[in-house]
């Protein structure tokens, strides 16, 4: 199984000289199963250069798994060039939206309206299929298996565990660890903490021991108190998760858009300094990064 990072930035694309080393595209990850099957995790702007790389080997069959429908994770879908070419197939998977009360089929319908885009969904030439997922239900994709797991974010967010011939990877999408909303001296604190601990234990079990753990690590430990409830984690939280689940490698991604390459490396180094023995290899994601499991 091979993993390639095409977009590692969070919230908004950040092109320019300050981000040239790590990249300014928003989230998109290519996973190749052992049989060559193409799995795409999220469709941020990183899906555009991925699409360009596919045009020399048509037809394309791709299974896209959307963690959630915030713009930085779907804004590249209309620019996935194979959808305009007959003979290609795009299978889009994602969660049921409890706000709109629709399945993942709305993800293209909303974007491809004349008010926002000059091409309608009915004009696409490729075959487009939609599948709204059930949490915890494994889905075979060629010789790989993808299992959706419910994460913690202001909207429904699915993490994905991918297994292929004894190797495994897990991508959290956007995720903020659950926390106790009550002060320690509040009578509600103990019961709420028990619930938090249970939810964390269930998530850790769903992630399980994994060869590669890809985690939203948008903030530093110092920044987090001002970002509570925004739905993102820190480097320290990512390392703690990797320790709990027994990850062999941890890849930190969803980089804060205001952070330059130099700032990013400094923040990452400071976090590693607080965890001199993290228990696994800890890496900082960059565009073009390739890992073989």
The predicted-structure confidence for 102-160, as pLDDT tens digits, reads as follows: 899 888 888 888 888 998 888 999 999 999 999 999 999 999 999 999 999 999 999 99
What are φ and ψ of residue 257, in 5° steps?
Answer: -65, -25
| Residues facing 249 on adjacent strands | 212, 281
d(CA 64, CA 92): 5
What are φ and ψ of residue 99, in 5° steps?
Answer: -80, -55
Which domains, ranges and CATH numbers included, belong to the chain? 2-292 (3.60.15.10)
Token pair for 247:
């990850």
- Give the pLDDT confidence of 228-247 residue by residue, as tens digits: 999 999 999 999 999 999 99
pLDDT of residue 85: 97
d(CA 189, CA 181): 8
Q: Is the peptide bond before 49 cis (omega within 30 degrees of 0)?
A: no
pLDDT of residue 122: 86
CB 44 within 8 A of CB 27: yes
Q: What percent of the chain has pLDDT over 70?
A: 100
Question: Is residue 172's pLDDT more than 90?
Answer: yes
Question: Is residue 98's pLDDT more than 90?
Answer: no
Mean pLDDT of 42-60: 97
- Give the pLDDT confidence of 248-282 residue by residue, as tens digits: 999 999 999 999 999 999 999 999 999 988 899 99
| Residues facing 148 on adjacent strands | 160
pLDDT of residue 111: 87
- Three-state secondary structure readout of the chain: CEEEEEECECCCCCCCHHHCCCCCCECEEEEECCCCCEEEECCCCCHHHHHHHHHHHCCCEEEEECCCCCHHHCCCHHHCHHHHCCCCEEEEEECCECCCCECCCHHHHHHCCCCCCCCCHHHCCCEEEEEECCCCCCEEECCEEEEEEECCCCCCCEEEEEEECCEEEEECCCCCCCCCCCCCCCCCHHHHHHHHHHHHHHHHHHHCCCCEEEEECCECCCCHHHCCCCCCCEHHHHHHHHHHHCCCEEEEECECCCCCHHHHHHHHHHHHHHCCCCCCEEEECCCCCEEEC
Cα 54 to its chain centre, rounded Å, is 21
Question: Is residue 163's pLDDT more than 90?
Answer: yes
pLDDT of residue 126: 97
d(CA 76, CA 45): 4
Q: What percent of the chain has pLDDT over 90?
A: 89
């Amino acid at each position: 199984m091979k993993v390639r990072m095409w977009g590692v930035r969070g919230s908004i694309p950040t092109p320019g000289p300050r981000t040239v080393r790590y990249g300014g595209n928003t989230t998109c990850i290519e996973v190749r199963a052992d049989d060559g099957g193409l799995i795409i995790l999220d469709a941020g702007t990183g899906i555009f250069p991925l699409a360009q790389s596919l045009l020399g080997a048509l037809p394309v069959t791709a299974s896209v798994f959307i963690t959630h429908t915030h713009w930085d994770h779907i804004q590249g879908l209309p620019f996935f060039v194979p959808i305009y070419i007959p003979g290609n197939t795009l299978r889009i998977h994602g969660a049921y939206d409890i706000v709109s009360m629709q399945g993942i089929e709305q993800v293209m319908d909303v974007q491809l309206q004349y008010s926002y885009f000059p091409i309608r969904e009915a004009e696409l030439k490729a075959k487009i299929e939609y599948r709204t997922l059930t949490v915890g239900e494994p889905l075979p994709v060629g010789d790989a298996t993808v299992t959706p797991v419910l994460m913690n974010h202001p909207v429904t967010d699915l993490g994905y565990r991918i297994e292929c011939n004894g190797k495994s990877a897990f991508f959290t999408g956007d995720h903020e660890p659950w926390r106790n909303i009550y002060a320690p001296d509040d009578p509600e604190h103990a019961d709420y903490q028990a619930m938090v601990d249970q939810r964390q234990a269930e998530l850790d079990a769903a992630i399980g021991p994994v060869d590669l753990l890809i985690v939203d690590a948008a903030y530093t430990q110092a920044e987090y108190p001002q970002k509570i409830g925004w739905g993102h984690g820190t480097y320290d939280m990512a390392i703690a998760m990797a320790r709990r689940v027994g990850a062999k490698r941890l890849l930190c991604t969803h980089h804060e858009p205001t952070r330059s390459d130099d700032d990013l490396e400094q923040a990452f180094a400071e976090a590693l300094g607080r965890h001199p023995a993290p228990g696994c290899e800890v890496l900082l994601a960059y565009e073009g990064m390739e890992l073989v499991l």
